[in-house]
Every structure is written in C-alpha cells, then in structure tokens.
Amino acid sequence: MKRIFTISLGLAILSSASLSILAAPPAVQSFDLTRFQYKAKNTAAFKGERVERINRINSLMYPLQTPAFAAEEPEYQPNVSFGPANNIGDLDGPNGEPWYYTAFYEYEVIPADYDNGIWFDDYILRSFRYDIYDTEANLVGSIKDIMRYEEDEERAVYYDLTPFVSRNFFNTSDDIELGVGFGVNSRTPGNNHYRTLIYSIGGPKDANGNDEPIMVFPELISDVAEGPASADGRDNFYIAFSNDVILPEEEEGADGSEPDSYWDYLTRQALTVNIMGRAENNEGPSLIHTQTIPLINLPGDQEGSPFMFNLNHDGKLYYLFNYLQKPLWERYDDPFLSDMVQRPDNNLQIFLYSIEGKSMNLLQTTLIPTIKDADDPGAIASFYSVGDMRYKEDVVFEGFGQPEGKADFYITRINYTPSSDSSTSSFYAYDYEGKKLRTYAEYCNSTLAISDLPGFEPQQMFVQVIGGAYQMTFIDLYSGNEAFATSNYYSISDLDEPEYIMANVDRTPVGDSYKYAFEMTYPVEIDEDSMLRVLWTNADGSFDHIDMVNVGEGVFYGQFYLSKESLEPGIFNNDDDQREYLYMVKRGVPGNDTTEDVGIGQPVSDLNPEGKTLLSVAAGEKGSLYGIVPYLYGENKHLNIYFFQENSKTNQAGLSMDIYNLPLKPFTGISSVENGNNSLRVNGSEVSAAGLISVYSPSGALIAKGNRHLNLSDLPKGFYIVEADGECAKIRL
C-alpha cells in the first residue's frame, strides 16, 4: 500500500565542513536545499571535501598552479567494472559494507528555439532505473519507474538515489528499501518542489512493470544515522528529511514588521527538521523530533554552514543544532541588500540532544555571543558557527576538563568584506557555558584538520598571510600549544635555497612520535623523467628527508593524495616494506593537448634507483579520468577510478567505474599457513622471532610490525597472519 506522508520533515548536513571562505553575503531567497541532500560517506577522496579544501588553499598560495590528475601498461587489472551509465555511486550497505549502484535515465529532448530566445536543448527526465550491487558486485536487484510531474511542474533539476540501504525502517518487511530524491522546478512562483520516493526491491509493480513507491515524502532525505544495535537485531536507523517552507502569515511579522513587507517575507522563510525512527508496524516510521529554523537565523554563511548533524560518542548517538537566536540582520526592506546591518544583541544557540529509542532529550544549551568584530572595520558582518572547522569533531566531550556529559565547542567566526568580496576566518574554543577558552588563530585564509593519532592531541593547521608570505601553523587543540610553523617556502638547511611546499599535508605515526608529509610544489627533472616530491619533517618541523616518485615524461603538474592512512606502508601493496604514493598527473602527449593519469608508485631508493610504478591508469576507451576515490578504512579497502565519455547532444550514459581491491598485491601466504617450527614462536598474544615480524589481517592488510618481539593484546579479537623469517602462522586472539 502506497502511503503519502505530508508532515514537513527536517534537514541535516553532509559529510564535512565547508571551506571557511565566503564568496558573497548571504541571500536567503536563493537557499539551495539540494546542497544538504544526504550523500555517502566519502572520507578520503581526490573528489572529497578534504581535498577540495586543500586545493582551495593551494590555489590561494599558487594561483597559477592548477591541481590535476603517470604512464606504463598497468600491472594490475580492475577487480570489478561498472558502466557505462548515467551515474554510478556508492551505497552504505548492510553491516557497513560498500554497495554500488548504476543509474540510467531517459529524457525527452526539447530542441533549442533560437527565434524565441531558447539557446540550448532542454532535457526533461521521463524515466529512471537503478541497478543495485553488493560488495562482491553481485546484482541484488533493480528499481525502475516513470517520472510523474505535478500539473505546475516544469522539470526535475535534481534526482539521485539516496546512498544507503535499509530494511525494516519504512515498514516491517525484510525487503531492501531505497529512496530516490527529487528537486523539481515549478512554474508557480515560490520554492522548488522536493520529494523522496521510497521503493523496495521486489516490491509492488504497476500494469506496465514499473516499480511503485511504497511511500512518498514531500521532502529530501538529508541525514542518516545508525544508532546502537537493537535487541531484536533489526537495523536501528534514524533518518532526517528536509524541506524549506513558508511560515504562516501573522498579523504582525518578526520585529514588528507589517505583514507582506519584504522583511516579513524574509523572516517567514524557514527549514523544518524532523528526525524519524524506524517503523514498528506498517503505519510507517515514527516522528521523534521536529525543529523549525528561519533561514535568516541560520549560522555561518547562511548557505553552506552546518546547522544540524549527528555524532556518536561512547556508543551513544547525539544530535546538534546550531542557529541564531534572532535574525542575523537588523530589519531591512531593500531587496537589493543595500541597507544590511548586523544585529548587535544576538547569540549563536547550540542545542545538544541525546537520542535513545523513540525519545530525544535536550542535554545542553550553549549561547555564544555573535559580536561584530570591531577590529575589522571593513567587514559588513561577523558570522559564527560550530562545524565549520572540523565538522562533527567541533563537538569536544573531553579535552578541556569539562564535567562528564558536557560538551565544549570549536567555533568559527567569518568576517566578510563586500568592498573586496573577501573574507577571513578566526577560530576559537568555547566551553559548555559559552566562555571562550582558546584563541587559535585569527584573520586566517583557511584551515585544515590534521589526522588524529593515538596518544597525541588533535591538531589543526591554520593558514595566514604574515610578512607577505603564507604561513602554515600547526596547533595542538587541547593545550593551544604551537607544534610548529612554516611558511610555504621551507628551508631545508642554511646551505640550500628554500623549497616551495603545498598545503597538501598530513601526519602519520612513526615509532613513539610522528612525522609530517608535505607535497612539494614543483617536481624535478632527472633524465627527462619528472619526479614528484614529498617533503618529510619531524614532529617539531625539522627536516627529515624527501621522497621522489618517478611519474614519467611530459608532466605539466601533479598531485599526491596524502593522508594518515595513505602514508602507511603496505596500504597499497604488500610486496615489501616500501611506502607507496597515490598520485594524479597531467602530461603533454605528442599529437594531443594533455592526458590525465592516476598511478601508485614507490619512491626512488637503493632498492629501486628509478622508482617503481605499481599501477598506472590513463584515459582510454572508457573516456577521460573523472574522479579517483580511495577507501582506506576497514577490511574492504579499495580504489575507485571513474571515467567519463561526454556526449552532450544525446545525454547518453557516459560514466564508468573500475574498482581495484587494496592492497594490489595481497599477502600470498594466507591460503597455506602453518605454525612455524623454527625461529617464529607464538604464545597467546606474544609473538617472537629472530628478525622482523609482520602481522596481517585475513584480507592481507599489514596491521602491525616489529623487530624480534610483538605484543598483540591491543588488537581486536579475531584471526591474524604472522610472518617472520620466511615462516607463517595463523593465530586467533
């Protein structure tokens, strides 16, 4: 039975904080709800938000240096290929497994009509099909349907599968549930129309064989959270839907404005936020919490700053809302925004809730004064938010000595200057009572989160212009101490010319400390081969060494993917103890303009005097490289490479994806391991041998290494493979 839900539901946030650079003053009239449509977790990607932030910072430092996407016959072939299709994506599958989908769309083409000022062909979506695959690339099932437009609707301008799989959420059936979200232009002035159609694989079909939605919501799914495991073993999701609404007209508008005034129009535009829990019967999911937020009260830049997100801490699920107590601006009546003045008596409200079962409990309310910066006279306003520095990690449950159950916050303040269309960002820590604890850095161009490491404080890099040069300052966030600072030209020694480095940087554990890896701005040429370089420093910023990766001839520029996970030896290959690097390059090719390649290579070393290319993938029959997404977490590590073959005239499917399982060369002794009888000894969680000991997961990932002795008691319970001195042992902890 199809059910039409008409309650206005809520809005959450995507996967990471947006870059703290503002392009224009907020204009709530153009708020784009689809920016907040729920997307799959994309924690590490050339097309991910951390890399976008890195590229934005680098474009400030080196405006003529464009980040881009090296070339031999590839040694490895993809394990799985998808496409071509109109779209390809990932799904959050059951038990955290990565699932996949391909999308196929059919359009009605409306030709250009130059006589009537229509300069381009228009494509009207008429039908869609999504094929769903599990983590082993087996087809799970498909859904297909026609597009049903309302009488006043023009065209769908946004449409895609919501990237998660559920069971027992929308009803109590065990069928797989999927949602398809739409944003549709309307011929009626006002907001766009949004809706989400819920289908189940194997569900009801109409007379023409099209799948019928089991439920329809007039909103978008914008947040999916997984709560603690339920006693009955069913999925325990919480889902937020979203819509923008016009609040009912009152006799007197906000701040005493007359009904139907421009200010009244602004203050009546709002978002509704509803959080829903799973269905207990076939009546559908249950409403748990509702929040309504006027658009003119949104935090930060009022366009992309997070105003709601979920987070987990110590096995509990929390939700955070943050928005202004009052409208950001004093009342103004000019639609052209010429008389905007920031309201002086205002606060950023932070509401922290815990969620258990079907109840949502307010744990904490914190007020942060939103004071316009008097030291920046050119700024039209100062915008405050939580979530724009480290996103969910802007909520700090421990680290500042706060009472148990209380959270402190990292707060971002953005000053926007309209005369130069520019902004600066300042970053602070506030406690649960709204008291400022730390000032980290002010008037920054941007900031970047550095990976957390066990035993060390969380750390952030702040980028500022000091003395005419860009300075990158690394600060330990709990103590506020500066770890080290460097300009974007790094001095290796007093005898060498400074080397330019990029903001593409992260740290990785080494022994009982850690080291930083920076991408260097310019490659060096050796015998016509281009060497991309990585500068390594110690934790205090002192020089350690430079790795050079041979990426071949004709390179215009390149880019590494650097993260704590990608810098672990053995993450991409398990043939030796060498570290590998994932990179993209753009090179010139005789007879062509440029080509883009993606590769994995080992640096120049005594073992490999010219370096070693493990994987090299270039544009080919599948089209040009479109995106590279490495998934370096959990047991199912893989590298997704997307290709795009453009055919704008017919809008045909042109997107393909190849998946390479990681490591490329897994540990080969897993299938035939025996307990060693010579130097290798295993006694419970204690492992000893005459020399180097390596420990692997069953999938072949290197997870521990030591010399002569290892204690594995800190590893999770399960099976492991131990290798030393040519011997292997399969152990269970």
Q: If you average pLDDT over residues 75-95, what whole number do you get?
A: 87
- The pLDDT of residue 418 is above 90: no
Q: Give phi and psi for 393, each to the nearest 5.
A: -75, 0
pLDDT (tens digit, 9 = 90+) per residue, 580-604?
999 998 877 666 667 788 999 999 9
Instruction: Give the span between the Cα atoms of 222 and 239, in whole angstroms.
Output: 8
Mean pLDDT of the chain: 83
Say if residue 12's pLDDT is above 60: no
State how far the Cα of 154 lies from the Cα of 168, in Å rounded to an integer: 34
Calpha distance 447→229 (Å, rounded): 36
Q: Which residues contact 177 (CB under 8 A, 6 or more apart)?
A: 165, 166, 167, 169, 170, 198, 199, 200, 214
What value does the mean pLDDT take over residues 293-297? 94
pLDDT at 178: 95
Residue 365, pLDDT > 50, answer yes
Query: How big is the CA angle at 561 (ends 84 and 627), to the nearest 5 degrees?
Result: 15
The answer to which of 204-208, 253-257, 341-345 has the lowest mean pLDDT is 253-257
CA-based radius of gyration for the chain: 27
Average pLDDT on 622-646 reads 87
- 3-state DSSP call for residue 638? strand
* pLDDT above 70 for 568: yes
Pairing assessment for the beta strands 499-510 and 489-490 based on DSSP bridges: antiparallel
Instruction: pLDDT band for 22, please (50, 70, 90 cuts).
Output: very low
Q: Out of 488-492, 606-610, 630-634, 698-702, which region has the weakest mean confidence (pLDDT)? A: 698-702
In tens, the pLDDT along 193-217 reads 899 999 999 999 999 999 999 999 9
Q: Is 432 left (phi over 0), alpha (psi -120 to 50) or beta?
A: alpha
pLDDT in the model for residue 103: 95
Q: How far apart are CA 663 and CA 362, in angstroms?
A: 45
Identify the pLDDT of residue 87: 92
Average pLDDT over residues 52-68: 65
Cβ(112)–Cβ(121) under 8 Å? Answer: yes
What average pLDDT score do residues 481-495 get?
91
In the predicted model, what is the mean pLDDT of residues 627-651? Answer: 81
As given in the structure block, the two tokens for residue 111 are 């030709």
User: Each residue of 297-312: pLDDT tens digit?
Assistant: 999 989 889 999 999 9
Read off the pLDDT of each residue in 664-678 and give the average, rounded to a whole number.
46
**Angle made by CA atoms 465, 467, 471, in degrees to the nearest 5:** 40
Q: Report which of 197, 399, 390, 229 is spatially closest to residue 309, judged by C-alpha positions.
A: 390
Q: What is the pLDDT of residue 355?
A: 92
| pLDDT at res. 727 | 72
Structure tokens at 711: 């204690």
d(CA 447, CA 260): 42
Report CA 491 to chain centroid distance, whole Å: 33
In terms of pLDDT, which residue wins out, 426 or 610?
Answer: 426
Exposure of 183 in the CB half-sphere (CA atoms within 13 A): 18
Interval 519-559: pLDDT, tens: 999 888 888 888 999 999 999 999 999 999 999 888 887 89
Q: Are the C-beta atoms of 636 and 97 separated by less than 8 Å?
A: yes
Give the whole-number percent of the chain exceeding pLDDT 70. Answer: 84
Least confident stretch, 37-46, 140-149, 294-303, 307-316: 37-46
- Per DSSP, 132 falls in state E
pLDDT of residue 722: 82
- For residue 20, is pLDDT > 60? no
Please tell me the predicted confidence (pLDDT) of residue 591: 60
Residues near 345 by beta carbon (within 8 Å), at least 6 away in sequence: 326
In this prediction, residue 44 has a pLDDT band, given cuts at 50, 70 and 90, of very low
CB 321 within 8 A of CB 362: no
pLDDT at 681 over 70: yes
Tell me which of 254-258, 329-333, 441-445, 501-505 is least confident: 254-258
Predicted local confidence at residue 719, as pLDDT? 66
Burial of 624 (0-12, 13-18, 19+ CB in 10 A): middle
**659 bridge partner residues:** 80, 640
Is the pLDDT score of 565 beyond 70?
Answer: yes
Question: What pLDDT is attached to residue 132?
Answer: 96
The pLDDT score that the predictor gives to residue 46 is 56
Given a cut of 50, whether residue 73 has pLDDT beyond it is no
Q: What is the pLDDT of residue 190?
A: 63
Which residue's structure tokens are 């090296």? 70
pLDDT digits (tens, 9 = 90+) for 387-407: 999 999 999 999 999 998 899
pLDDT tens track for 97-146: 889 999 999 999 888 888 777 788 888 999 999 999 998 889 999 999 99
